[in-house]
Structure 1
């Protein structure tokens, strides 16, 4: 009985330890907590960009003449079926149709760190076999205009004001099309805001900004396990029943412990005399 009670206690202890290895995500769904090396991905893509200012929009140019090109490399991780983060390194070529100091063409390098929210998993529930997933993102980044061998146009000015470099604020939509658990195609539409002086134009204040629309497409490769496994939680009635059995076995063991270890000596019995 003692061995059996120890087995029950061990089983409950193992269940308690496994319960600590789960993480609670949206909609009250609980998933097993995977290794830190799981749910990573790397992506590579390319596309186009459109620089937006009033002068650019008013210029006498066709839509196609305003389109530049760009490429991006990204590394990210989904921390749950709903929330993820990523780092994007990008760069490209901007076509200016307005009369700006940096000329009609401008190369740039940059990057941004984003938080991603899987709208389809949050609103429609997690499904590892879903083909299409929509994920809005929000982030902050940096852009540097490649002008005159990395020289600042205003050497005595502030680092991120009146220069060909700027902090950026990024928002967008990511469309992921799953081919397999480890391979997906993506189509991304983004919008970023940067300092008005990024194209060399004079600034009219501290809070005046230009912006740029981007569109990219490419492929992503998963690193490590990609799907999330729902935790199979035990029935609380079963847990209560196991606790009752443990308490009953403890009581029986206590009663057995109170019994004497050996029987007392029996008195000698006189032999019966028969006539």
Structure 2
């Protein structure tokens, strides 16, 4: 039991950073905007089409595997390779690139039939010559950033490891020319130099039809291995923003309601002084008429009370407690019929009414025996043809 408890505590501690949120609030006139940022490293804002494009240039050695690998040593088959690519990351973990790679390949050929240099391969007589030919390979790759996929996105990560696979077309420049489809896979390692620049090590294997070198042997395919080192420039806009939720509140109507409530409370105080000598029941009836109704507005889909709503309820609670203890007030919850299902609106209207009742009782000391809770579910626009003014709770005396 002790081990299970310790494991649960460690799991909760590890998960808590991903669940944390930060919040910013800005005021512009009557509009309040609240922005909540999630710290979940696996959630980012969707980027735009022109975001996170990059250009890569690299060079290094490459080796061809063909029909005469036994006749010519590995070192004699090494030739230079050039990589030029442009691409885009759609998410921190998935991207694409279009790449040119090429220059020349080295190998051997029988009887000088294809791309012979005229130089014989030592030890194999006059029937085997060295070969060399120029080529290009145009290829489209899909890239998977394993660092971001498995460890979450981090803007300043020094090393990113990516696997990629692609399909392209390879063709020789020199007669006898040949061309065919290529398939490639590789491992791309990127090292952050600054915000705009990465250094890269690209290890790649490619496979192409056996006839690409102008000679058909015993196998169906020839192969290429390359290792290039290069630089990647990341165009602006680069990187991703944290996922966020933006909530906007229009305080204009709420401020107007609060001012009206303040006027009503002032009127209550004036009437209390004027009717101090009257009978208690008559005084209660007058006060009940003055504080007959109160309206609290909720954001769409929400049942929690804002600070402005709590301030209004505090003033209402003072008025209720100043009146007669026998007066019962009905708290009625509503939801906007134009949004949400009937079941959802029933729940929202009920929870809103209960939230107002709980606030009056638990925070401001109103007797629960003076409160009655009702809810009406989704309703059509009740005030000024404004659906926002249907997401409310209204408090009235009987």
TM-score of the two chains, using structure 2 as the length reference:
0.49
Instruction: State how far apart, in whole Å, the 1-side matches of 2:231 and 2:50 are.
Output: 20
Structure 1 spans left out of the alignment, 5+ residues: 1-6, 20-26, 154-162, 256-275
Please give the alpha-carbon distance, in whole angstroms, between the structure 2 residues aligned to 1:164 and 1:209.
Answer: 13
Q: How far apart, CA to CA, are the structure 2 residues paired with 1:60 and 1:181?
A: 45
Give CA-to-partner distance per residue, 1:193-243, whole Å, 9 cap, x none: 0000001112568xx11111011111111112221112134799x943267
Give 2:142's aligned residue: 115
User: 1:31 is paired with a residue of what secondary structure?
Assistant: coil
| Residue 240 to residue 64, structure 1, CA distance change in 2 (3 Å) | farther
Match of 2:98 in 1: 87
Give the 3-state SS of the residue equivalent to 1:197 in structure 2: helix
Alpha-carbon distance, 1:39 to partner: 0.5
Structure with higher RCO (Cα < 8 A, 6+ apart) = 1
| Inter-partner Cα distance in structure 1 for 2:303 and 2:239 | 32
**RMSD value, Cα:** 3.4
Change (3 A) 1:226 1:239: farther
Does the alignment pair 1:192 with 2:255?
no
Distance 1:143 1:136 in 2: 21
Q: How far off its partner does 1:91 sit?
A: 1.5
CA distance in 2, matches of 1:181, 1:209: 41
Give the alignment partner of residue 34 of structure 1, picking from 47, 54, 60.
Answer: 47
SS in 1 for 2:68: helix
Whether the 8 Å contact between 1:29 and 1:230 is mirrored in structure 2 is no
Q: Residue 217 of structure 1 aligns with which residue?
A: 229
In 2 relative to 1, CA 112–54 (structure 1 residues): closer, same or farther, beyond 3 Å? same
Q: Distance in 2 between matches of 1:212 and 1:93?
A: 12
Matches within 5 A, 1:142-161: 142-148=169-175, 153=176
Greater CA drift, 68-77 or 96-105: 96-105
Once the two structures are superposed, the pairs formed by residues 198-209 of structure 1 within 5 Å of their partners are: 198-202=212-216, 208-209=220-221
- Counterpart in 1 of 2:191? 177
User: 2: CA distance between counterparts of 1:220 and 1:239?
Assistant: 47
C-alpha distance in structure 1 between counterparts of 2:108 and 2:192, whole Å: 38
Map 1:1-275 to 2 at 5 A: 29-56=42-69, 58-61=70-73, 63-97=74-108, 99=110, 101-103=114-116, 104-148=131-175, 153=176, 164-202=178-216, 208-233=220-245, 239-241=302-304, 244=352, 250-252=392-394
In the alignment of these two chains, the number of paired residues is: 219
Highest CA radius of gyration, 1 or 2?
2
| 8 A contact 1:40–1:222 mirrored in 2 | yes
- In structure 2, the residue corresponding to 1:65 is in which secondary structure? helix
Runs of 4+ in 1 over 6 A off after TM superposition: 245-249
- Equivalent-residue separation in structure 1 for 2:303 and 2:136 (angstroms): 61
Greater helix percent: which structure?
2
Deviation at 1:53, TM superposition (A): 2.6
5+ residue gaps, structure 2, are 1-29, 117-130, 248-298, 306-347, 357-387
Q: Take 1:11 and 1:234, find their aligned partners in 2: how far apart are those partners?
A: 7
